[in-house]
Amino acid sequence: MSAPPADPPSTSRDALIEAAITLMSRRSPSTISGRDLAAEAGVNYGLVHYYFESARDLMAEARRLHGDWIVENLMDGGTRPVDPEAALADRRIFGFTAHVALEGGFWDPNEPRPALDALLELVRESDPDGDPVHHRATVAAVTLLLLGWPIFVEHNARGLGLDPDVDGEAIRSRFLGVLRSLYSSVGLEVGG
Amino acid sequence: MTGGVRAPRGSDEVREALIAAAARLLGDAPPERISGRRLADEAGVNYGLIHHYFGGKEAVLRDGFKRLSEAYVAGSDDGSWVATDPFSMRHRPDFLRALAFASLSGEIDEVHLTHPTIDAVLERVRPTRDSGDETTIRIDVGIATVFHLSRCLFEQVIDPWIGYGDPEMSEAVEERFILILRALTLGLDPGAAAGGRRDSSGGPSGPG
């Protein structure tokens, strides 16, 4: 049985979505043009408007797909939590989400949040008789810590008179301990 | 900002107009993307005055940051919130956004600021920590501050999911967030706090 021939148009479309995720992890959607997206994807500029109404429409599609993208690529299809070390190092998680949050009117509050749902499902499986408030608070707190850490830690450390060169290991280890404590309170283990 | 309004004149007015303009613009873009011309336009002053009074746009932006930080520390005019309240930064989205933009673009070095309420928090926390060296106490306050800022920055992204249309769940989780913030600040067990326990001890599972 031979594989169906690759469909070049859909490959270009995927490349544009990937490009949007990459660029939005670096800067605000309002500063990203269709030409930027085409150049990042390595496709012809005309394809942006072939597949999407506008560059903004393409980026909105990337935003809608971002949660599924995290579940597929970083949670093994929803079978395990995101590895903390990987999340903290990946701008496509915290940078992307921050730039979306900072862009007014770019977020639909009623959209599903597949990555949060997937983590909540893992928590429920691991702690079936647990308190639903505890479950939701834990998923949200872990997510907020993973998103906020790479953005704010340096500023805070310096504000506290800590030297990242000297205290970096202690800071990191204490932070990973916090994540372990939250996860283990609902019976999950992460990050080794 | 210029239409129909008299242009600022004299040292004090020009300086004030530029600092206020910087404070407004820093909430909408990383410092690197705020040009001197944009600052001058926003302030309604001649571009050359930036160099005359500040030596360059960096100094204006630094003072703009300082202005935002001071407004946050001052709390609300009507006393409805103070900076040491849990998640108080939600009341100053301008400062929070400026911090986020500067951090995301890697320019927090340039602005070189300290978190304005950290000393107050440290003063409050130290007497409650019977063990733990000063570095650990500071690290814990730093982790709590990250949680505080992140909770405010991502409020609109995360909260609809937390509540999923159920106001009781939103309120219950918000109470847990306050317990978690307290546990992080005091070096207590955040997992127990997420479970609703107020007097958890033992701290997060130790290093290593």
Measured between CB atoms, does A65 come within 8 Å of chain B?
no
Rg (CA), chain A: 19
Question: What string of H, E and C letters represents the secondary structure of chain B?
Answer: CCCCCCCCCHHHHHHHHHHHHHHHHCCCCCHHHCCHHHHHHHHCCCCHHHHHHHCCHHHHHHHHHHHHHHHHHHCCCCCCCCCCCCCHHHHCHHHHHHHHHHHHCCCHHHHCCCCCCHHHHHHHHHHHCCCCCHHHHHHHHHHHHHHHHHHHHCHHHHHHHHHCCCHHHHHHHHHHHHHHHHHHHHCCCHHHHHCCCCCCCCCCCCCC
Size of interface A-B (CB pairs under 8 A): 184
- Which residue of A136, A147, A159 is in closest CB contact with B118? A159
Average pLDDT in the A154-172 region? 84
Residue A187: CB atoms within 10 Å: 13
Rounded Cα–Cα distance for residues B206 and B208 (Å): 7
Kindly tell me the burial class for residue B53, based on how many C-beta atoms sit within 10 Å of its own C-beta (0-12, 13-18, 19 or more). middle
Measured between CB atoms, does A88 come within 8 Å of chain B?
no
Please, which pLDDT band fits residue B44 given cuts at 50, 70 and 90? very high
Is A90 within 8 Å of A105 (Cβ atoms)?
no
Rg (CA), chain B: 20
Please say if the pLDDT value at position A115 is more than 90: yes
Mean model confidence pLDDT for chain B:
88
**Whole-model pTM?**
0.91
> Please, what's the largest Cα pairwise distance for chain A?
64
Write b or e for each residue in A72-107: b if 16 or more Cβ atoms lie within 10 A of its Cβ, otherwise e: eebbeebeebbebeebbebbbbbbbbbbbbbbeebb
> Given an 8 Å threshold on Cβ–Cβ distance, is A182 in contact with B190?
yes
pLDDT at B154: 95
Interface test with B, best of A30, A117, A144 (most B CBs within 10 A): A144
pLDDT at B205: 45
Please, which pLDDT band fits residue B2 given cuts at 50, 70 and 90? very low
Q: What is the DSSP letter of A144?
A: H
> Given an 8 Å threshold on Cβ–Cβ distance, is B162 in contact with A140?
yes
| Model confidence pLDDT, tens digit, residues A66-79 | 999 999 999 999 99
Rounded Cα–Cα distance for residues A86 and A79 (Å): 16
pLDDT at B201: 56
- ipTM confidence: 0.91
Please say if the pLDDT value at position B208 is more than 60: no
